[in-house]
Chain A
């Protein structure tokens, strides 16, 4: 009950993501046309790194022309990795401006640009104004934006009879980017400020 009472938002997010995943899989397994169930997700993603968690799972929706994807992730960091348990909810939006098709084995390579907004659920951070200080004394510490550029490789799995793929991206947090770009710091290098994310995706169409 303690977990339920204190982490209801985390449990709620996991529940919604799980529910959507199973709905999507059911929808896919029964071969129902996607257009009739617009609210069923188009993909399931698992990611590590990119500031959103040691392991982050999410469900995503693809636009009808497949150039825009929007995914909601729940990310978890165990205490032995980040010093304390960290829960993150993030919303990742991806634009696929370039797609390279390879006829061999239906392999597709896509270059994408991404924007991720994330919220950290921790008693030490605040999403709006801090209650202890005057208005606008500090910026909110619990929400951030990260920009990313990545490559995704998709193929059709014969075993699962659906599309799946790997992606790898270079991502940079707004705070780090600000320090790198606008604070006139000759001290910082790109590799001081950028991070990497690796993910796996199952696509239900």
Chain B
């Protein structure tokens, strides 16, 4: 019987040839794997909705509610429209971190440019450097592509609310071109059912005046709800800071890091006063 490990010269030469070929392909494979794991990843599609982090708003609201205080005073920072102004946003975050007396931070939408997962991930990478909990409200740019799906997975519902130290914060999606008619009934029902002493509305786009986005009916609906229930309103979208008063309700536009601006909202429980201060950096 022939020994299975015995080969003639021709077989040895053939085996050596195949071995060389396989070694070559093996080395190529090793290089590919090393490159992939050490340096660059394979990105299958920029339209992926496979997120690494889920329900961040819910998680951060839990952190906010867990903050302890002897009084109902609070100090909150608001920034918006970070888009792809990554360097400026990181600068704003560093400045906010240097202020040791903030309770949490609102980011009033438009954290992406075309709603790509890559943009969401870079934005999260920067926001997660905050020493404070942060809440992200949906902006019109978040709806582009598969952005809405990513927002819902990563941050949660488009409309949500929570109470913090006696104030109801209501975060409302009013990006009508991108996601259809705003849910006015939800807004009114949420505001009317809250027993909080104060109510603050946060919505990305200002719909207090007739514009190319909002008609008279929508504006009237919005203003009636605001007049009936809210003490303060914050918007973003136009990247600049501004303030106006309609029906005795102050309405602020939070600026963008693009214009080196953010806003600090402070509530004093002794005087029952709100102060809103624009800060440049």
- Closest residue of chain B to A168, judged by CB? B32
A49 B44 Cβ-Cβ under 8 A: yes
- Closest residue of chain A to B114, judged by CB? A141
DSSP majority for the B interface?
Answer: loop
In the assembled complex, which residues on chain A have CB atoms less than 8 Å from the CB atom of B86? 179, 183, 185, 187-188
B42 A198 Cβ-Cβ under 8 A: yes
Select one of B35, B49, B87, B113 contacting A184, CB under 8 A.
Answer: B87
B50 A122 Cβ-Cβ under 8 A: no
Q: Does B266 contact A (CB under 8 A)?
A: no
In the assembled complex, which residues on chain A have CB atoms less than 8 Å from the CB atom of B153? 83
Q: How far is the CB of A130 from chain B (nearest CB, A)?
A: 8
Per the CB 8 Å criterion, the residue count for chain B at the interface is: 39
Q: Does B218 contact A (CB under 8 A)?
A: no
| Binary interface encoding of chain B residues 41-62 relative to chain A, with 1 for a CB under 8 A from any of its CBs, else 0 | 1111111111100000000000
Once bound together, how far apart are the Cα atoms of A153 and B126, in whole Å?
40
| Binary interface encoding of chain A residues 164-205 relative to chain B, with 1 for a CB under 8 A from any of its CBs, else 0 | 001010100101100100011111100110111110000000
B44 A82 Cβ-Cβ under 8 A: yes
B35 A51 Cβ-Cβ under 8 A: no
Stretch of A22-30, A37-45, A132-140 contacting B (4+ beta carbons < 8 Å): A132-140
B122 A124 Cβ-Cβ under 8 A: no
A51 B43 Cβ-Cβ under 8 A: yes
Once bound together, how far apart are the Cα atoms of A138 and B43, in whole Å?
24
CB contact under 8 A between A197 and B48, given known A141-B144, A141-B145, A168-B35? no
Once bound together, how far apart are the Cα atoms of A81 and B51, in whole Å?
11
Q: Does A163 contact B (CB under 8 A)?
A: no
In the assembled complex, which residues on chain B have CB atoms less than 8 Å from the CB atom of A124? 145-146, 148-149
A49 B84 Cβ-Cβ under 8 A: no
Once bound together, how far apart are the Cα atoms of A125 and B35, in whole Å?
32
Per the CB 8 Å criterion, the residue count for chain A at the interface is: 50
B149 A83 Cβ-Cβ under 8 A: yes
Q: Does B115 contact A (CB under 8 A)?
A: yes
Q: Does B178 contact A (CB under 8 A)?
A: yes
Q: Does B131 contact A (CB under 8 A)?
A: no
| Binary interface encoding of chain B residues 123-155 relative to chain A, with 1 for a CB under 8 A from any of its CBs, else 0 | 000100000000000000000111011000100
B42 A195 Cβ-Cβ under 8 A: yes
Once bound together, how far apart are the Cα atoms of A196 and B118, in whole Å?
15
- On A, residues with C-beta under 8 Å from B are 48-54, 75, 77, 81-84, 86, 88, 105, 120, 122, 124-125, 132-134, 137-139, 141-142, 144, 153, 166, 168, 170, 173, 175-176, 179, 183-188, 191-192, 194-198
Query: Could you give 13 example pairs across A and B, Cβ below 8 Å?
Result: A81-B48, A82-B48, A84-B146, A105-B21, A134-B212, A138-B114, A175-B118, A183-B85, A187-B126, A191-B40, A194-B40, A196-B36, A196-B40
Beyond contacts A50-B42, A175-B113: 13 other A-B pairs, Cβ-Cβ < 8 A, are A77-B44, A86-B47, A86-B48, A122-B146, A124-B149, A125-B146, A133-B178, A142-B145, A170-B40, A175-B114, A187-B122, A196-B36, A196-B42
